[in-house]
């Protein structure tokens, strides 16, 4: 009997260890902070630099961004996701999370490196509207723009133009 009881006790102990381990794994997984897969770089992080640049009326996007990138794509409000994917040359799963296809309050700046989206910025159009630019793809060295205040719809509005 003693041997039978000892084996039974070992099995119960082993089950408890396994159950505790599984519970621990579940807790670790459920409490883990989700990885930011959308790579949004908040516009607020560049506002201070932008305010300094606005005095000069020129902006070099490369100097505003504290991360490396190769290409900048600028998409205007209501751009369909299929157009973004087409211009990027691949399907970017994060595009839908930006709501660019449904919003009118921002332009979407997408930064890529090695044919991969590394960051994007939702640029509020009240801080400068890219609607007057002609291209939508810029290299790191060519992403330079100028701000111009103009009347639009009876109000003053800041437009952003390419520097030629």
Distance CA 96, CA 141 (A): 28
The pair of three-digit structure tokens given for residue 124, joined into one six-digit string:
């509020």
* 127 or 14: which leads in pLDDT: 127
CA angle 16, 18, 20 (to 5 degrees): 65
Mean pLDDT of the chain: 83
Distance CA 6, CA 11 (A): 9
* 137 or 152: which leads in pLDDT: 137
Express as a percent the part of the chain with pLDDT over 70.
Answer: 76
Q: Which of 27-36, 48-57, 72-81, 155-164 has the lowest mean pLDDT?
A: 27-36
Phi, psi of 97 (to 5 degrees): -70, -15
Looking at the chain, how many residues does it have?
164
In the structure, what pLDDT confidence band is assigned to residue 14 with cuts at 50, 70 and 90?
confident
Helices H, strands E: what count in the chain?
5, 7
Distance CA 108, CA 72 (A): 10
* DSSP letter, residue 87: H
**pLDDT at 27 > cutoff 70:** no
Distance CA 44, CA 133 (A): 23
Domain layout of the chain by residue ranges: 1-32, 43-162
Q: Can you give the pLDDT at residue 9?
A: 73
Q: Can you give the pLDDT at residue 37?
A: 38
Q: Can you give the pLDDT at residue 77?
A: 96
Of 130, 78, 131, which is closest to residue 101 (Cα–Cα)? 78
């Amino acid at each position: 009997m003693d041997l039978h009881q000892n084996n039974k006790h070992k099995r119960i102990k082993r089950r408890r260890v396994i159950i505790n381990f599984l519970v621990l794994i579940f807790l670790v997984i459920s409490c883990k902070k989700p990885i930011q897969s959308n790579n949004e770089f908040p516009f607020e992080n560049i506002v201070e630099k932008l305010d300094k640049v606005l005095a000069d009326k020129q902006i070099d996007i490369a100097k505003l961004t504290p991360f490396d990138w190769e290409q900048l794509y600028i998409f205007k409000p209501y751009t369909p996701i299929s157009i973004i994917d087409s211009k990027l040359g691949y399907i970017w799963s994060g595009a839908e999370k930006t709501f660019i296809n449904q919003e009118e309050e921002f332009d979407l700046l997408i930064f890529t490196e090695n044919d991969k989206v590394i960051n994007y910025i939702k640029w509020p159009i009240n801080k400068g509207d890219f609607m007057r630019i002609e291209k939508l793809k810029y290299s790191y060295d060519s992403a330079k723009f100028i701000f111009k205040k103009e009347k639009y719809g009876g109000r003053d509005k800041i437009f952003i133009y390419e520097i030629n």
